[in-house]
Structure 1
Amino acid sequence: MKKIALILLYFTFLISCSNTKTDNGLLINIGPEPKTLDPTYTETYDGSAYIAHTFEGLTSRDKDDKLIPAAAESWDISDDYLTYTFHLRTNAKWHDGVPVTANDFVYAWRRAVDPKVASSVSYQLNPIKNAAKIINSELPIEELGVKALDDYTLEVTLESPTAYFLDLLAITIYSPLREDIINEYGDSWSQKKYIGNGPYYVSEHINNDKLVMIKSTNYWNSENITAEKLTFALLDNPNTIVSSIENGTLMFGSNPPLQDIPKLTEEGYIDYVPLLAIYFLSVNTTNEVLKDKRVRNALSLSIDRNYIIKNVTKGAETPAAALVPPPVYDIEGSFRENGGDYFSTKEEDYAKNIEEAKRLLAEAGYPDGKNFPVIEFTVESESSKNIFEAVQQMWKENLNIDTVVNQLEWGVFMQTTRGDKNFQIARSGWMGDYNDPMTFLDTFLSYSPQNTGSYYNKEYEDLIKSALTNGDKVSRMQTLHKAEDLLMADMPFIPLYFYSRVILVRPELKGVMISAVIPPRFFYAYIEK
């Protein structure tokens, strides 16, 4: 019966999407029904994608993923890098024609840090003066370091110099909001009167079916927006998405089943987007055995990352021999390319890695794994369990170390690893919030909620804190490289691979803006005849 229901659902979808190119504009899929379309609360990839089409912050990113002015046409930065003065476009309008003003940003950012609103992503505003104290209920929202000097001039004061602040302004939570609409409709405004200031307005939203967007003639740059109409099919069934791509009903999709990737690649529908994200194993550095960095380095070196990527994940990931991913910028070029790898991930060097791992383990007092206790690996999903089972076999074969797997339900897993920190080794990972090394390196500060392994090194803390307050971009980046050097020598985590997002694209679909930082945008997308 389930199979019949799936077939009926698929054909219903095909019928509803007939005459796609004429009736529905570009039919695309980013994900299922979003949890919310409110910029203050959105923390998901698909939710951010929809909002990127309907809202616009002070800055944005162009076709080449470079930062550009958006709602702000220019800005001035004080000599101490603490005060930013933004000059808004006087021709920027909301979808209903009302002018976008500096007060719309003041209201939105105060709402985001308001502890009564309780946004789970409010920490993204922490660089702004007093934001953290307001979030923690220590100051009123009026003390946030942002004010409207007039309708089109916004002044922002930071806690300390923040080199990546302009990049932050391009993410969802920094979007402006209409106080009059939210006052009238409350938190349900995004369902009742969803008005943004971006290239598209929502003309129709049918839950779990589709989200239709039309180009806004009130958008300041509408004449340069190519796609007149976008229909986001809110699909969550990967088999339906794949079939719809293959028959041309759908132009763009994501997350195909792993077993279908070889066939879809051969058919020319697969593309890979490198992401600001890393998959790693979190190591509890307070554990009696694992607190020895020689042990942690031995466990890391004995893993064949190429085998995992080729035979388990199969998503064109990149083996990770560091923390900061390749797409992250340096002063010039890539931070990763400039910093290099901290051990070899070349297949021909794996045997040497194993020998070094054995040497380190013996030096730590466990020759050939003798007297090494059974290690428990905590995991939250079947896919992560499959990855660790490969690691489990490598540790046994190469180091004679035994392990057991403890698979937990998601909520219990989060409490165990992040709340109680009651684990030995656990599946973990991180996706950066902005394109700067700091979004990865500061997660290993002692007070970071992402530091599940309880890592602490005073020298590392001092380096990161120095970089956080350094307004000189060159010396700041040199400090961040030193910090990663120290982190990787300590190895408080075990890097496995850098993520790539697998996407499905019809060959005739052109002009999609693909970014490692933010979700794909279809402003300039078109179908090549």
Structure 2
Amino acid sequence: MRKREKFLAGLVLVGAAFLAACSNNSSTSSSNKQVMNTATSNEISTLDSSKYGDTTSSEVLQNSMEGLYRFDKKNQPQLAGASKVTRSKDQKVYTYTLRKDAKWSNGDPVVAQDYVTGWRRTVDPKNSSLDSDSYSIIKNGTKITQGKAPVSSLGIKALGKYKLQVTLANPIPYLPQILEGAQFYPQDTKVGKKLGSKYGTSADNLVYNGPFTVNGWTGSNLKWTLKKNPKYWNKKSVKIKRVNIQVIQTTNTGVNLFRSNSLDYVPLSSDFVKEYEHNKDYHTKVTPTNGYITFNLKRKATGNVHLRRAISLAINRKQLVDTILHAGKPATGQVAADFITDASTKKDYREAAGKMVSYNVKDARAEWKQAQKELGKKKMTLELLTSDIDDSKRVGEFIQSNLMKNLPGLTIRVRSIPLKSRLSNTTQHNYDFVFGTWQPSYEDPLDFLTVGGLFNLQQDYHNANFWKQINLAQTSYATEPTKRLNALIKAEQQLVTKDAFVAPLYQAGASYLLKPQIKGFQLSPYGNVAYYWNVTIK
């Protein structure tokens, strides 16, 4: 992820570029310089692919590192770090021949052991990777993340310097898509051993094997540069020389820089979509990125299923999209619509699964009344945790207003903090319920139902039917599409409708302004991560 995204970020990213005072260039990019100015709304949390959990870190990693696969210009996965792959008859064992010309930015060859090192670090419970659940597809991955098997038992083996064997837990149709993600990147074994806990904590504490190297990030500052990597095996295909990036959280600043030609690309927050939707530089698309809230089951109030159902039913999703976001569409379930074609029906999964969340004040109040009775309280105060970017705060305020209007006696306080802190607070169970967004890593319902931004899912959610259906979809029904579909639908119904562990809100729209001279710019197929390796400035 990329995915994983890969993980949780602000609702719609807000972009900007180097301020003129911070840049050597006072005008926008030119073709002879092949320099692009852009930005993001959040800081990098880490460049350690075993520990990242946010969109900005994922974006930087995806532009500077490379795994066995990489997305091409049409967002299709193609072999990248590997030049050849063979598959066993039972579709469980994949053998990759690595590129002998693939190098790390320090000149070290990228070898099979580097993949073993990276994957084992990510799946190791002691590293608390937010993407370790992705390894459920790999033999013994789930047992390792649960502390029930040694890290060395993971289904990955170096058969030689440039020969890598990957053994799956079960056959899956989406392996190339998921292995493209940052959580499956290799890590220079020598460098990792040398740096220890410093690995990935700054641009200098890392080496890169992708199209760009990261420069100028100290671990806490708000600007950095992607520079063309001279050691990259496919460097001839990379035309752009440098991408200057800075964190700016206000869209107004970014838009002003774009209009003054100091910025080439600016993602638009919701309040600017209406103003610019007819501008020639405006672009938009509905993405499979989720906006959602999840609940802390360890706290008494939010551990009550009737309270969780009441909150989900009391939120007007259509009004949220129409009046606050101005892009995207209301969610009808945890799994995104218009994204996954089911193998058995050849139709969209969401169409087969049906609507699992709705806005119904009458039903919400009935659930709320039951929650009040079981909790022994007529009045309650809950805290909603969000990140501090503008759109996240606006969504938080909308949820606050809806709930306090529709559930009399409920008071909602919104706590908006920097994304890195929000991630930490959620992991540490320091919240009642939390709003976030998440972009998928591959085109399968399992990604939405077992990862999906679902903080503390395996740790806190113990419904036997849900995990039974997930296990069936992963194992017994792995090659039986119709049975697998039914199991996935049952699992989603349990998670979303019956237990309301998560309340899906919307599918995010990615809206942005882009200078016409920027060619080959693309967003990931899963959300709003920007890819720069195909960019050319005319």
TM (norm. structure 1) is 0.78
Using the alignment, how far apart are the partners of 2:126 and 2:316 within structure 1?
48
For residues 257 and 175 of structure 2, what CA distance do their matches in structure 1 show?
40
Unmatched segments (≥5 aa) in structure 1? 1-8, 345-349
Query: What residue in structure 2 maps to residue 379 of structure 1?
Result: 384
Larger radius of gyration: 1
2:86 to 69, 76, 86: 76
* 1:304 and 2:316 matched: yes
1:513 paired residue number: 522
**Shift of residue 243 of structure 1?**
1.7
Which residue of 322, 330, 352 corresponds with 1:319? 330
Is residue 235 of structure 2 the alignment partner of residue 222 of structure 1? yes
Query: Is the CA contact 2:254–2:266 (under 8 Å) kept in the aligned structure 1?
Result: yes
> Could you say which residue in structure 2 is the equivalent of 1:5?
none
- SS at the partner of 1:60? strand
- Is this contact kept in 2: 1:77–1:84, CA < 8 A? yes
Summarize deviations over 1:4-36 as a string: whole Å, max 9, x none: xxxxx9441365454742446222223555233
Q: Distance in 2 between matches of 1:289 and 1:35?
A: 28
Which residue, out of 341, 347, 353, partners 1:339? Answer: 353
Matching of residue 89 in structure 1 with residue 99 in structure 2: yes
Q: Indicate if the aligned counterparts of 1:300 and 1:494 stay in contact, CA closer than 8 A.
A: yes
Cα shift at 1:158: 3.1
Q: Does the alignment pair 1:479 with 2:487? A: yes
- Output the aligned Cα RMSD: 4.1
> Matched residues in 2 for 1:232 and 1:134: separation?
39
Contact 1:379/1:385 (8 A) holds in 2: yes
How many residue pairs end up in the alignment? 497
Tell me the equivalent position of 1:406: 413
- Deviation by residue 1:338-360 (Cα, 9 ceiling, x = unmatched): 4343467xxxxx8xx567768x7
CA distance in 1, matches of 2:308, 2:126: 42
Residue 274 of structure 1 contacts residue 501 of structure 1 at CA under 8 Å; is this kept in 2? Answer: yes
Q: 2:531 is paired with a residue of what secondary structure?
A: coil
Q: Distance in 2 between matches of 1:296 and 1:49?
A: 33
Contact 1:430 1:440 in 2 (8 A): no
Moved more, 326-335 or 465-474: 326-335
Among residues 490, 498, 506, which one is paired with 1:497 in the alignment? 506
Instruction: Using the TM superposition, give the Cα deviation of residue 427 of structure 1 relative to its aligned residue in structure 2, in angstroms.
Output: 4.3
Instruction: Give the CA deviation at 1:467.
Output: 0.8
1:449 equivalent among 432, 446, 456: 456
1:441 maps to a residue whose letter is L
Alpha-carbon displacement from aligned partner over 1:390-428 (angstroms, at most 9, x marks no partner): 3136515xxxx33211344759988997656985x6646
Asked whether the equivalents of residues 30 and 232 of structure 1 are also in contact (C-alpha less than 8 Å), the reply is no
Instruction: Answer yes or no: is the 8 Å Cα contact 2:41–2:249 preserved in 1.
Output: no
> Paired residue for 1:271?
283
C-alpha separation between the residues in 1 aligned to 2:159 and 2:333? 44
CA distance in 2: counterparts of 1:314 and 1:276, whole angstroms: 15
Output the CA distance in 2 between the equivalents of 1:443 and 1:26: 34
Whether 2:448 is the aligned partner of 1:440: answer yes
Contact (CA 8 Å) 1:128, 1:159: kept in 2 or not? yes
Residue 179 of structure 1 corresponds to which residue in structure 2? 189
Cα distance change on mapping 1:128 and 1:194 into 2, 3 Å: same
- State the identity as a percent: 23
The higher relative CO (CA closer than 8 Å, separation ≥ 6) is in 2
Aligned equivalent of 1:169, options 179, 192, 200: 179
**Which letter maps to 1:169?**
L
Letter in structure 2 aligned against 1:405: I
Secondary structure in 2 matching 1:391: helix
- TM-superposed CA distance for 1:135, in Å, is 5.0
Please list every run of 5 or more consecutive structure 2 residues that lacks an aligned counterpart in the other structure.
Answer: 1-17, 387-392
Query: Which has the larger displacement, 425-434 or 62-71?
Result: 425-434
Q: Relative to 1, partners in 2 of residues 1:223 and 1:334: Cα closer, same or farther, differing over 3 Å?
A: farther
Cα deviation, residue 277, structure 1: 3.2
Work out whether residues 107 and 177 of structure 1, in 8 Å CA contact, stay in contact via their aligned partners in 2.
yes
- Structure 1 segment 208-247 matched on structure 2, within 5 A: 208-216=222-230, 218-225=231-238, 227-238=239-250, 239-247=252-260
Q: Deviations over 1:365-389 (max 9, x none)?
A: 99xxxx9944544212443441223
CA contact (8 A) 2:216 2:223 kept: no
For 2:48 and 2:533, the matched residues in 1 are separated by: 20
CA contact 1:297–1:491 (8 Å) conserved in 2: yes
Deviations 1:81-123 (A, max 9, x none): 4322222234433345544322221222233334565545444
Please give the TM-score of this superposition, normalised by the length of structure 2. 0.77
Task: Tell me which amino acid in the other structure corresponds to 1:154.
Answer: L
Range that drifts further, 55-64 or 334-343? 334-343
Structure 2 CA distance for partners of 1:213 and 1:393, relative to 1, 3 Å: same
C-alpha change, 1:390 and 1:18, in structure 2 (3 Å) is: same
> What are the within-5 Å matches in structure 2 for residues 26-425 of structure 1?
26-31=36-41, 33-95=43-105, 98-114=108-124, 117=127, 119-134=129-144, 140-188=150-198, 191-192=203-204, 194-202=206-214, 207-216=221-230, 218-225=231-238, 227-238=239-250, 239-254=252-267, 256=268, 258-282=270-294, 300-301=312-313, 303-311=315-323, 313-326=324-337, 328-330=339-341, 331=343, 332=346, 334-342=348-356, 373-381=378-386, 382-392=393-403, 395=406, 401-408=408-415, 423=432
* C-alpha contact (below 8 Å) 1:73/1:87 kept by paired residues: yes
Could you say what secondary structure the match of 1:29 adopts? strand
In 2, Cα distance between equivalents of 1:97 and 1:513: 29
The aligned counterpart of 1:459 is 465
DSSP-derived class of the 2:186 partner: coil
Structure 1 stretch 173-182 or stretch 10-19: which is displaced more?
Answer: 10-19
Which structure features the higher share of helix residues?
1
Deviations 1:180-218 (A, max 9, x none): 2333444446543643222233466685343141153x4
| Cα separation, 1, equivalents of 2:224 and 2:367 | 55
**Could you tell me how far apart the structure 1 residues matched to 2:338 and 2:416 are?**
32
Distance change (3 Å), C-alpha of 1:508 and 1:404: same
Amino acid of the structure 2 residue aligned with 1:100: V
For 1:389, the aligned partner's letter is Q
**How far does residue 259 in structure 1 lie from its aligned partner after superposition?**
3.6
